[in-house]
Structure 1
Amino acid sequence: MIDVEVAVAAHATIGESPTWSASERALYWIDIKKPALHQYIPESEALRTWPLTSDVGAFAFCEDDSAIVALRHGIYHLDLSSGELDLLAPPPFDPRLFRFNEGICDRTGRFWVGVMFDPVAPAPAHQKGHLHSFTFQGGLRCEDDIAELHNGMAISEDGKQFFLSHSREGIIYRFDFDSALGGLGGRKDFAQIPTGIGLPDGAAIDREGCYWCALHGAGRLRRYTPDGNVDREIKLPVSKPTMCAFGGEDLDEMYVTSAAEGIDIAEEPLAGALLRFRPGVKGIARSCNTGAVAKMARVAKRRID
């Protein structure tokens, strides 16, 4: 029996991207629609928030006290000391139609970031957008994967496999991957979520090579074995889990963000909470180093200006 507890009753509109900082013993996450980066320190239960200027789809830590954040209006450098934002790359899409969604760093520090068709103005039929990658040296680069909604990014411990879901289609893909070359290789179907069981959302990989996936709308996590078979399901006290991540000093805890968007809080009072439980297996650390420091960010900003 898994005991799922509330770490933070955040009531996030769309909580996302939980990321453990080992050096700070802290869990970071974002709220996409009440745009902000949040920090939670379990030992003291201290909370800190950095407000952002538009919908935020993903973030990653830099080497110094800073981060890069993927906002609707571009990729920005965020100084965590001052809260100052500097534009690094403008959006590669019409921000009235699309926003960034989901992101992960590979072991070289390259930041992979997807897109979502999420119009804020009257729009034509649903459209698809490209996956992108970002480095401070090379800027924002268009990649060869197109989807209406990218999600579920995870990289195997040996760095040779890259997982990515096309949520609207209900498919989780596994790509051959070489972070040194910086490109996705051959693509294979890894798992498919039947219609009506929720959408495959954010994910994490454990030390046994299994892939944990939040099923948005289904109120559960699924653990898939390396060959794509369902191994376990964890029921959650929220209907819209958005992403899971391993945390804690030994990476033996799992944190889960969730969404309250479109939910009656009176009927689902924990919607939007940051949840925590012990899954019985340890995880692998997500690469959070973008391979650059604030000085490089300022150089990139000047190049854009």
Structure 2
Amino acid sequence: MTAELILDARNATGESPVWSTAEQALYWVDIPARRLHRWNLADGHSQSWEADEMLACIARSSDGNWIGGMQSGLFALTPHTNGRLETRLLSSVPHALPDMRFNDGRCDRQGRFWAGTMHLDMAAGHAVGALYRYSAGQSEPLNAQISGLTVPNGLAFSPDGKVMYLSDSHPDVQKIWAFDYDTDTATPHNRRVFVDMNEHPGRPDGAAVDADGCYWICGNDAGFIHRFTPEGTLDRSLAVPVKKPAMCAFGGPHLDTLFVTSIRPAGDISDQPLAGGVFALQPGVKGLPEPEFNT
């Protein structure tokens, strides 16, 4: 199966792809560039908006705007025609150390926003990240639901919303966990190892769940997107022409296209000139509409 380059975006860290069914367009972020990007399926046109802080993860809001995890907290986001991204603080976050930011995040099936934090110096291995939950009108600051994370990633929910998945991408961890998820109280419990990615190519990065309940995870550093069954068995691995796929999302008119964002590392990339691009694959399965943040 061949991955199609849909945009040579050259993102430093392309993350958090979200398909808009209403617009038939793909949105994603470039974290260090502080940009929100949009690519239109009909004509291939792309545009972007600049934020005031690093923007790491996004979800569409039911009011037609966006919610995003940045450096100092969670923000309501409104793109403007002048290329600026208006930001309004929803809730601050009590970081454990300076120089931290949000990383991976998305909504559960009930429209509550979940996102994790990490230290900017990933190589230092500070296990000071945490996973937070935010609901509309919630008082600030945020309270950690899960602590002791280094690089939280791979957040996803099963089709019925009763299983939550979470990974840690740091080379010293490389685990994906599954939790039973109480959809009424938004409480994850019964944490267990779903997949030990030390046994598979690549570190676990961003993820998506398909309509069959299978979990797709980007194998960062290895150039693969892996599909695992709900039992944690490797079902297939799809190759992309870059080493660092970052996150995947289902989209397209029939939700049967798997979009993949990627990272363009510093230094010599002559062996992967398309690094930082956005790709599309046809995996033969369908995804699910991405839940909106319930405002």
State the TM-score, normalizing by the size of structure 1: 0.89
Match of 1:131 in 2: 131
- Of 94-103 and 275-284, more deviation after overlay is shown by 94-103
The 2-side partners of 1:161 and 1:107 are apart by 10
Amino acid at match of 2:11: A
Alignment of 1:156-175 (within 5 A): 156-168=158-170, 169-175=173-179
* TM superposition shift of 1:136: 2.2
Amino acid at match of 1:127: A
Amino acid at match of 2:58: F
Change (3 A) 1:63 1:81: farther
* TM superposition shift of 1:252: 0.5
Change (3 A) 1:189 1:237: same
Contact (CA 8 Å) 2:51, 2:86: kept in 1 or not? no
* TM superposition shift of 1:125: 6.3
Match of 2:180 in 1: 176
* TM superposition shift of 1:68: 1.3
* TM superposition shift of 1:196: 8.3
Quick one: which of 177, 197, 202 aligns to 1:198?
202
User: Gaps (5+ residues) in structure 1?
Assistant: 293-305
Quick one: which of 142, 145, 164 aligns to 1:143?
145
User: Gaps (5+ residues) in structure 2?
Assistant: none
List, as ranges, runs of 4+ consecutive aligned residues in structure 1 with deviation greater than 4 Å: none
SS of 1:69 mapped into structure 2: strand
Match of 2:293 in 1: 290
* TM superposition shift of 1:124: 7.4
* TM superposition shift of 1:228: 0.5
- Of 133-142 and 234-243, more deviation after overlay is shown by 133-142
Match of 2:227 in 1: 223
State the TM-score, normalizing by the size of structure 2: 0.92
* TM superposition shift of 1:268: 1.6
Match of 1:186 in 2: 190
The 2-side partners of 1:31 and 1:239 are apart by 17
The 1-side partners of 2:218 and 2:178 are apart by 17
Contact (CA 8 Å) 1:164, 1:174: kept in 2 or not? yes
Amino acid at match of 1:57: A
Residues 34-73 of structure 1: CA deviation (Å, up to 9, x unaligned): 1111111111111121111122221111122311111112
- Of 231-240 and 61-70, more deviation after overlay is shown by 61-70
Contact (CA 8 Å) 1:72, 1:95: kept in 2 or not? no
Name the Cα RMSD after superposition. 1.9
Identity percentage over the alignment? 37
The 2-side partners of 1:57 and 1:81 are apart by 19
The 2-side partners of 1:74 and 1:211 are apart by 28
The 2-side partners of 1:184 and 1:227 are apart by 18
1:20 equivalent in alignment to 2:23 = no
Quick one: which of 246, 256, 260 aligns to 2:260?
256
Residues 181-219 of structure 1: CA deviation (Å, up to 9, x unaligned): 111121111101117832100111111211111011011
